Amino acid sequence: MIHFDSDYLEGAHPEILRRLMETNMEKTSGYGTDIYCEEARKKIRKVCNCPEAEVFFLMGGTQTNATVIDAMLSRTEGVIAADSGHISIHEAGAIEASGHKVLALPHENGKLSASAIEKYIENFYDDGNHEHMVSPGMVYISHPTEYGTLYTKKELEEIRIVCHRHEIPLYLDGARLGYALVAKNTDITLEVITSNCDAFYIGGTKVGALFGEAVVFTKPNKIKHFLSIVKQHGALLAKGRLLGIQFDTLFDNNLYFEISKNAIEMADKLKKIFEEKGYKFFLKTPTNQQFIILENEKMKQLSEKVTFSFWETLDENHTVVRFATSWATNEEDVEKLRQIL
Amino acid sequence: MIHFDSDYLEGAHPEILRRLMETNMEKTSGYGTDIYCEEARKKIRKVCNCPEAEVFFLMGGTQTNATVIDAMLSRTEGVIAADSGHISIHEAGAIEASGHKVLALPHENGKLSASAIEKYIENFYDDGNHEHMVSPGMVYISHPTEYGTLYTKKELEEIRIVCHRHEIPLYLDGARLGYALVAKNTDITLEVITSNCDAFYIGGTKVGALFGEAVVFTKPNKIKHFLSIVKQHGALLAKGRLLGIQFDTLFDNNLYFEISKNAIEMADKLKKIFEEKGYKFFLKTPTNQQFIILENEKMKQLSEKVTFSFWETLDENHTVVRFATSWATNEEDVEKLRQIL
Amino acid sequence: MIHFDSDYLEGAHPEILRRLMETNMEKTSGYGTDIYCEEARKKIRKVCNCPEAEVFFLMGGTQTNATVIDAMLSRTEGVIAADSGHISIHEAGAIEASGHKVLALPHENGKLSASAIEKYIENFYDDGNHEHMVSPGMVYISHPTEYGTLYTKKELEEIRIVCHRHEIPLYLDGARLGYALVAKNTDITLEVITSNCDAFYIGGTKVGALFGEAVVFTKPNKIKHFLSIVKQHGALLAKGRLLGIQFDTLFDNNLYFEISKNAIEMADKLKKIFEEKGYKFFLKTPTNQQFIILENEKMKQLSEKVTFSFWETLDENHTVVRFATSWATNEEDVEKLRQIL
Amino acid sequence: MIHFDSDYLEGAHPEILRRLMETNMEKTSGYGTDIYCEEARKKIRKVCNCPEAEVFFLMGGTQTNATVIDAMLSRTEGVIAADSGHISIHEAGAIEASGHKVLALPHENGKLSASAIEKYIENFYDDGNHEHMVSPGMVYISHPTEYGTLYTKKELEEIRIVCHRHEIPLYLDGARLGYALVAKNTDITLEVITSNCDAFYIGGTKVGALFGEAVVFTKPNKIKHFLSIVKQHGALLAKGRLLGIQFDTLFDNNLYFEISKNAIEMADKLKKIFEEKGYKFFLKTPTNQQFIILENEKMKQLSEKVTFSFWETLDENHTVVRFATSWATNEEDVEKLRQIL
């Protein structure tokens, strides 16, 4: 059996484990106050070219989204997101559990457009009853999106302009950010993200870490008592250095970018194989997730030899499935897949 | 200036005020334990033909929806509703503030269909990741809907069948229930509602009371500690008898139904006038709300002499507006409107 | 049977009912935008000598406390209160339901002292781990307290000084405020409250209204979107004018103060009777609530002829009970009580 | 500098790191569905002698408490805890953030007594107004307590009896459970805990793991949709196997118990040293935390060479401090401490 069902099937990049070993018996203070966290923060500020950025380390994506969104919204505000966004669907109501409505707009291949956001906000304020409605308090986008697609620099800037016009912050979910940054033909860099977003997170769980997400607030002193909010959300790791060591390693010598490239290369091979074999794409993307349309019979056969994930039912006889590569995908498995297909 | 902007412009039916006067200096125990509440409960159980029903009195619609839905859902469940439903839009996030997601489905003239609900629930359970999603824990419908439309008995039964198949309760928001029950050609009675819904409320605020909504749970002992939940939601009126007296009056001698008829009769006249004068309907409904398409210039002129409410922008030059009648609308005002139009 | 169990046994002062009748068929806009609310706001601003005050009308005490406290706290802050405070005990967890901890300090006859508050806050900030704790975000006091006792002007000023030193607001629960303001030998007026508190509410439910509490924010523009917060808490009355008319009446010609005096006079008579008859006081207070120690056997006898409320068990054979007077208590009932005792 | 400030200063037991290395590149399914989690569950069920137990793995203590308590309480229930309990003080309001009140009772050296719990519950139900109060919905105890003290089997049984009489569950926070189980003269084993508690957690973070807590529900099928609740709390680790591997290692060959013993032995040495040197104990405990009274001047001196934690101010000149040992404390450091003292 070979596995393409997700990008968090393995543990961590070996260098991370090596450093966890190396530092294991050191004694450090807890909750992110240690030198490894501090070192990782420095490196992230540098790679973002944002010396004043505030950086925090949390454990997982849902936790990070729930904590950051809760911190950024007042209690009568909601968060605008694509209806395909992770917070809209796959977080078991974590956003609502902290009291906030997700204001879901229709997605276009996983993306939100500046004009759709603008129109939503304008309609909201046109409504004489808007005090009886949840006001749009921030915008959430994913990059890459849940569909593996990417924003362009121009699109991101347009969204930022709309947000700033209406004085609401822009937050970018970077669960798979590495795979976006090293994709071909993208003009979005960490610096571009930093200068357009008020907050974002750099995903570790899906890009080389055992677990962990690095939250970056690009404008200092905006969120008061964020550490207490993190603690209240149960998201403050006692041995915070575990996160510091991981991100310090990932941002040492460009490791984060280097290992991300593997996912893109393997995805390119995958795409080529699917094309050669005549498979139909539901969506061919520049990142590590590819969406294929399978006949149900074929799907059943394939699933005996390879894992992939169910995406959605297309029609009675066809299903959309997702194949994901990662920093850890190896050529051998891709080759096996070719033979199976 | 004449007023057709809403159905809560006046105080209460005079008979209610008379009884409040009459009983004003009596001393009774608080929080709904008085004899007037008990008497009102008896009358409501009787008119619903449901001797075992549990009846509670709350103060307003948003409060009632937030309290009942919070009481009926577990913490990982959400409530299925039309995207035009009151809880989806106009309650300032009250449902989310108590931790629950509104699972909004596209409406058809304000209504949900059994098949759309069924499909949503089935898709939910088909998803291998459904434990990461908010599970459908109840269905919310409004009758009349926010668009003034009505379910048929058959439609209601079909929805109930889907709910029961999936073991989730059905809750009906009856903010304007009186106007539904006395509409022409409807086959939905209080008994039909009682036998199909697990909970519903009989609206007082918009149908003759100063304020107040009567919540009916049709199956006893389903909701534990509902009174504490009401108190926790700030929805427990100290002088509960004020609600008891109002509902006792409304359900004495069919007053609730009698006064509701006035709204329907006046709405019928309104419809005829708009037709005669050649106005375009966005939606002509069997209840007390009528939706008219106005040219923006015309709208401006009209609004100098008559109030109505903005509903939505149709296109650059046209707007949909709502005219509402109520138990208190008088013929004189309708006549004036005819002359203005 | 005569009744001294609470101060919300009757309806409203007759003048309020008269005005509700008089205005009943007028058509006004909803949600507190009508002229009666505006008139009541003006009168309250004037009697508080605070032209810039923001005034809102809500329906009941628990609702008001939950809404105001939720609006004033950030999400990691709690509210300091006496452990005997209404929010600490008798609101079914309404404060916690909106996510906030009540930081309960030991009371002295229902009161908090400035020094106890100061000590609590200083200890909090001394703790190296205070980011893991709920930070004190505001102070809640009741006046009169739940024990019927009163703060002095000096005590209130001392509390205000501590609050301001630590930059947290002071909020006063005035559910029975009328009875405090007209008590003998008090130096606390509405002006004193206004100049020392950031927010407070003037209780209507227990002082002459059918229902309703008037929230006063003494510094403008501190709370953003309060109306939406009120709506989200289910606390926004559709026919808001019902509150406006009541408070407009109560603050016309000093009615609020005049009717409050009756409660004090009747309580004075009560105290004298209990003294004459040799009853033991648990607490003799300057307001409308008196706390008497009864032998359990005596309590049983009494309760066949007069209602009062259980306060607490003193020892095996004795119980503390509360007798409450109100704006509506009449001499006749007091006389009857004398004969019964 | 030597360190005795907490029991989470180091990484993990080397065997855990070895196994994380060994399994690092394996591909497994996520969210706790892997074979390592399953293996760990089996071992825990066995060591608890409870084949029907349901076992879940979460990441940290605050997160675990917030999730489990939220899952076990209905919305109007609160959790009884010692006022010194972790949930009462040091979780930044995480319990209240999910809507629940902590019903704090005075502690005796960190412990709650069955009689105090019983009295609280009985008083609650004696109160005629208890529907306006937060009802006691479960009991939370810590073992060892935050003061390092231990319950006896008899005490635990008495608490369980009270809980069962009132039909509320008993939950035990075992953040440092290993150190309790191997303490001298204790009669509480995992089996005793399992047969007396409805739920508890076995702490990993402070006892040999990098992070992680194993939640055990001793009666199956009590909590519905716990996995969704975990996800909603942001507490579901994507690479769940990391927890499985750690607990599988800890419960292999009694490792959890073996390494716990080291903390006790080192604490015994510490106690002896403090005694010999004439230090005053605030509390001498059978587990890994010892509480010493230091003159403030002495405290200052000491803190230049050794870390410990501030516990509380005793008086103007004295402070209570805590020295903690752990599975990782080595004799060398203890020896150094002797010399410093």
DSSP B107-151: -BTTB--HHHHHHHHHHHHHSTTGGGS-EEEEEEEESS-TTS---
Is C286 in contact with C184 (CB distance < 8 Å)?
A: yes
Chain D residues with CB-CB distance to B135 below 8 A? 225, 228
Which residue on chain A is closest to C232 by alpha carbon?
A76
State the 10-residue block means of pLDDT for chain D, 341 residues long. Answer: 96 98 97 98 98 98 98 97 96 97 98 98 90 97 98 98 98 98 98 98 98 97 95 98 98 97 98 97 98 97 96 94 98 96 90
Minimum distance, in Å, between the CA of residue D200 and any CA atom of chain C: 22
pLDDT at C128 over 90: no
How many B/D residue pairs have CB atoms within 8 Å? 41
Q: Does C100 touch chain D (CB under 8 A)?
A: yes
pLDDT at C245 over 90: yes
Q: Does B98 touch chain C (CB under 8 A)?
A: yes
Average pLDDT over residues C197-223: 97
Say yes or no: D31 and D88 in one domain. Answer: yes
Task: Report d(CA D149, CA B31) in Å as an integer.
Answer: 45
Domain boundary among B230, B254, B278: B254
Give the residue among B79, A56, A97 at the shortest CA–CA distance from D230: A97
Q: Which of A68, A74, A75, A223 to mutate to test the interface with C (most CBs of C within 10 A)?
A: A75
Number of domains in chain C: 2
Residue-wise pLDDT tens digits, A296-325: 999 999 999 999 999 999 999 999 999 999
Chain D residues with CB-CB distance to C136 below 8 A? none
- Alpha carbon separation from B60 to B68, B111, B310, C41, C253 (Å, rounded): 12, 22, 22, 23, 31
Contact A97/D233, CB-based, under 8 Å? yes
Q: Does B9 touch chain C (CB under 8 A)?
A: yes
pLDDT at B296 over 90: yes
Which residue on chain D is closest to B231 by alpha carbon?
D132
Give the rounded distance of the alpha carbon of D95 from its chain centre. 16
Say yes or no: A62 and A147 in one domain. Answer: yes
Chain D residues with CB-CB distance to B98 below 8 A? 99
- Which 11-40 residues of chain A touch chain D by CB within 8 A? 11-12, 14, 17, 20-21, 23-30
Subunits touching A (CB < 8 Å, at least 3 pairs)? B, C, D
Say yes or no: A268 and A229 in one domain. Answer: no
Say yes or no: B157 and B220 in one domain. Answer: yes
Q: Does A91 touch chain B (CB under 8 A)?
A: yes
Say yes or no: A173 and A287 in one domain. Answer: no
Which three-class secondary structure string do you get for chain D?
CEECCCCCCCCCCHHHHHHHHHHCCCCCCCCCCCHHHHHHHHHHHHHCCCCCCEEEEECCHHHHHHHHHHHHCCCCEEEEEECCCHHHHCCCCHHHHCCCCEEEECCECCECCHHHHHHHHHHHHHCCCHHHCCEEEEEEEECCCCCCCCCCHHHHHHHHHHHHHCCCCEEEEECCHHHHHCCCCCCCCHHHHHHHCCEEEEECCCCCCCCCEEEEECCCCCCCCHHHHHHHCCCCCCCCHHHHHHHHHHCCCCHHHHHHHHHHHHHHHHHHHHHHCCCEEEECCCCCEEEEEEEHHHHHHHCCCEECEEEEECCCCEEEEEEECCCCCCHHHHHHHHHHC
Give the rounded distance of the alpha carbon of A175 from its chain centre. 2
Minimum distance, in Å, between the CA of residue B48 and any CA atom of chain A: 32
How many C/D residue pairs have CB atoms within 8 Å? 61
Chain B residues with CB-CB distance to C229 below 8 A? 92
Average pLDDT over residues A36-62: 98
The CATH number of the domain holding residue C327 is: 3.90.1150.10
Domain boundary among D255, D279, D307: D255
Say yes or no: B234 and B274 in one domain. Answer: no
Minimum distance, in Å, between the CA of residue B332 and any CA atom of chain C: 14
Say yes or no: B242 and B262 in one domain. Answer: no
pLDDT value at residue A245: 98
Chain C residues with CB-CB distance to D101 below 8 A? 93, 96, 102
Which residue on chain B is closest to A133 by alpha carbon?
B92
Q: Which of A24, A26, A67, A310 to mutate to test the interface with D (most CBs of D within 10 A)?
A: A24
Banded model confidence at residue A128, pLDDT cuts 50, 70, 90: confident
B239 vs C64, C97, C205: nearest CB:
C205
Is C286 in contact with C263 (CB distance < 8 Å)?
A: no
Say yes or no: B154 and B275 in one domain. Answer: no
Half-sphere exposure of A238 (CA within 13 A, CB side): 27
- Which 212-251 residues of chain A touch chain C by CB within 8 A? 224-225, 227-229, 231-232, 236
Q: Does C49 touch chain A (CB under 8 A)?
A: no
Which residue on chain D is closest to C313 by alpha carbon?
D123
pLDDT value at residue D55: 98
A10 vs D25, D62, D231: nearest CB:
D25
Q: Which of C6, C75, C101 to mutate to test the interface with D (most CBs of D within 10 A)?
A: C101
Kindly report the average pLDDT of chain C as a whole number.
97
Is A76 in contact with C229 (CB distance < 8 Å)?
A: yes
Q: Does D136 touch chain A (CB under 8 A)?
A: no
Minimum distance, in Å, between the CA of residue D126 and any CA atom of chain A: 34
Residues of the domain holding D280:
2-7+260-340
Subunits touching C (CB < 8 Å, at least 3 pairs)? A, B, D
Q: Does A75 touch chain D (CB under 8 A)?
A: no
B122-131, C308-317, D138-147, range with greatest mean pLDDT: D138-147
pLDDT value at residue A144: 98
The CATH number of the domain holding residue B177 is: 3.40.640.10
CB neighbour burial string for C88-110, b if at least 16 within 10 angstroms, e if fewer: bbbbbbbbbbbbbbbbbbebeeb
Task: Report d(CA D299, CA A4) in Å as an integer.
Answer: 58
Give the residue among C97, C95, C87 at the shortest CA–CA distance from B71: C97
Q: What is the identity of the amino acid at A150?
A: L
Subunits touching D (CB < 8 Å, at least 3 pairs)? A, B, C
Which residue on chain B is closest to C5 by alpha carbon?
B29
Chain D residues with CB-CB distance to A234 below 8 A? 60, 62-64, 66-67, 94, 233-235
Minimum distance, in Å, between the CA of residue D296 and any CA atom of chain C: 15
- Alpha carbon separation from D23 to A77, A247, B211, C260 (Å, rounded): 44, 21, 65, 77
Minimum distance, in Å, between the CA of residue B92 and any CA atom of chain A: 4
Banded model confidence at residue B127, pLDDT cuts 50, 70, 90: confident
Say yes or no: C245 and C278 in one domain. Answer: no
Q: Which of B77, B124, B127, B131 to mutate to test the interface with D (most CBs of D within 10 A)?
A: B131
Chain C residues with CB-CB distance to B7 below 8 A? none
Q: What is the identity of the amino acid at C140?
A: Y
Say yes or no: A249 and A260 in one domain. Answer: no
Chain C residues with CB-CB distance to B11 below 8 A? 20, 23-26, 239, 242
Q: Does B61 touch chain C (CB under 8 A)?
A: yes
Is B179 in contact with B260 (CB distance < 8 Å)?
A: yes
The residue behind tokens 């005829």 is B272
Chain D residues with CB-CB distance to B236 below 8 A? 132
C76 vs D92, D126, D132: nearest CB:
D92
Which residue on chain D is closest to A234 by alpha carbon?
D63
Say yes or no: C111 and C69 in one domain. Answer: yes
Q: Does B70 touch chain D (CB under 8 A)?
A: yes
B90 vs A78, A92, A132: nearest CB:
A132
Banded model confidence at residue A79, pLDDT cuts 50, 70, 90: very high
Say yes or no: C331 and C279 in one domain. Answer: yes
B96 vs A91, A99, A127: nearest CB:
A99
Chain A residues with CB-CB distance to B92 below 8 A? 76, 131-134
Domain boundary among C253, C278, C307: C253
pLDDT at B27 over 90: yes
Chain B residues with CB-CB distance to D131 below 8 A? 225, 227-228, 231
